[in-house]
């Protein structure tokens, strides 16, 4: 089922998960084991992140050769495997960084052959050590351009202009930033870019994590004012230790409520930290669902037990 349809036609809150591919050299069985306990909550879909290949150099036969490495390969294969192993819709991430338009088209054709009909589109981060994102030669500089390429394929328009080409049937989703993207100068500019992605063909939005229900409600109001009417699924991250107070805002450009910071800083043990995180996580999730959010999209970050505890309380009573 298309994610956009699942969000609109839901009979109960949607639960979805976001996972990281295993590091190169790791066994996929570890990912299966991590996900298995989540199946009791009947997730509507599982999204699998994609990380831009890192450029570097290697010396072979005395010559310096440019190479590209991926620390976490396998997004497409993992997505197909999850769908067929667990019977759960899988949503691979597809990024602009590191790929030409022709390479992206080939990737889309493979996704279509594998029966993966939902795609989550992001631009991708700058290369390590780079301050600005640089598109691949012949690639896309913005996520809306990649969404448009997907929409073109859905209408049978391929880069080589083939006649009577097969139309794909992808449902692209995009990221939304309730506290604006870190590179946007203000919220108005951020919403302008988001609207371009929707106009290009995006059918649903998954937000960046945030930690106040008021942020989500204000964001929905802004989207409505901007004429954006696709389903918006809130991204959810459970805090469970003091280190996250500083790492998460720095990494994702989000703010934490002062009461959450104060509560965590007063903790003296690991167990106290987990209890504080669970308390505030439940409060946030409950208020989001009470206010009409279609569900929650859980950024697992490969952390299982704290999130399982929260979901059992939230949905199992």
Residue 299 main-chain phi, psi, to 5 deg: -80, 100
154-188: b or e for each residue (b if 16 or more CB lie within 10 Å)? beeebeeeeeeeeebebbbbbbbbbbbbeebeebe
Burial of 231 (0-12, 13-18, 19+ CB in 10 A): buried
Is residue 265 a contact partner of residue 278, using CB atoms and an 8 Å limit?
Answer: no
Q: For 117, what's the count of Cα atoms within 13 Å in the CB-facing half-sphere?
A: 14
Strands ordered across the beta sheet of 89-95:
232-233, 204-207, 171-176, 118-122, 89-95, 45-48, 14-19, 295-299, 235-236
Which pLDDT belongs to residue 306?
A: 87
- Angle, helices 244-252 vs 258-265, to 10°: value is 150
CA angle in degrees (0–180, nearest 5) for 274-279-280: 105
**What is the C-alpha to C-alpha distance for residues 83 and 94, in angstroms, rounded to an integer?**
17
First to last CA, the chain: 28
pTM: 0.93
Which pLDDT belongs to residue 127?
A: 77
Which pLDDT belongs to residue 38?
A: 93
Average pLDDT of the chain is 92
- In this prediction, what percent of the chain has a pLDDT beyond 90? 79
Which pLDDT belongs to residue 62?
A: 63
Nearest Cα to 230, choosing from 254, 193, 208, 197? 197
Dihedral angle, C-alpha 184, 146, 250, 181, nearest 10 °: 20
Domains of the chain (ranges; CATH) run: 3-316 (3.20.20.220)
Of residues 300 and 208, more confidence is placed in 208
Res. 57: pLDDT tops 80: no
Res. 6: pLDDT tops 90: yes
| pLDDT tens per residue across span 171-209 | 999 999 999 999 999 999 999 999 999 999 999 999 999
Is residue 35 a contact partner of residue 19, using CB atoms and an 8 Å limit?
Answer: yes
3-state secondary structure 134-151: CCCCCECCCHHHHHHHHH
Residue 124 main-chain phi, psi, to 5 deg: 105, 160
């Amino acid at each position: 089922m298309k994610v956009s349809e699942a969000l609109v036609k839901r009979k109960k809150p949607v639960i979805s998960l976001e996972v990281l591919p295993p590091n190169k050299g790791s066994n996929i069985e570890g990912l299966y084991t991590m996900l298995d306990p989540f199946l009791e909550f009947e997730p509507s879909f599982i999204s699998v992140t994609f990380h831009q290949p890192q450029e570097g150099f290697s010396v072979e036969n005395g010559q310096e050769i440019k190479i590209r490495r991926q620390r976490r390969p396998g997004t497409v294969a993992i997505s197909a495997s999850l769908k067929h192993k667990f019977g759960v819709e899988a949503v691979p991430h597809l990024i602009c960084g590191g790929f030409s338009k022709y390479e992206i088209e080939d990737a889309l054709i493979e996704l279509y052959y594998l029966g993966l009909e939902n795609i989550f589109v992001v631009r991708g981060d700058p290369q390590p050590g780079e301050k600005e994102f640089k598109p691949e030669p012949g690639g896309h500089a913005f996520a809306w351009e990649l969404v448009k390429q997907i929409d073109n394929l859905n209408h049978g328009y391929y880069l080589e202009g083939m006649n009577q080409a097969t139309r794909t049937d992808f449902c692209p989703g995009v990221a939304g930033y309730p506290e604006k993207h870190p590179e946007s100068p203000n919220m108005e500019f951020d919403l302008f870019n988001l609207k371009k992605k929707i106009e290009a063909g995006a059918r649903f939005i998954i937000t960046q994590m945030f930690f106040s229900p008021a942020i989500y409600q204000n964001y929905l109001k802004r989207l409505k004012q901007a004429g954006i009417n696709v389903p918006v699924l809130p991204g959810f991250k459970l805090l469970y230790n003091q280190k996250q107070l500083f790492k998460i805002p720095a990494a994702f450009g989000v703010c934490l409520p002062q009461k959450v910071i104060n509560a965590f800083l007063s903790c003296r043990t690991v167990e106290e930290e987990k209890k504080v995180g669970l308390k505030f996580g439940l409060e946030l999730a409950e208020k989001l669902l009470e206010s009409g959010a279609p569900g929650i999209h859980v950024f697992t970050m490969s952390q299982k037990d704290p999130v399982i505890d929260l979901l059992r309380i939230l949905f199992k009573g």
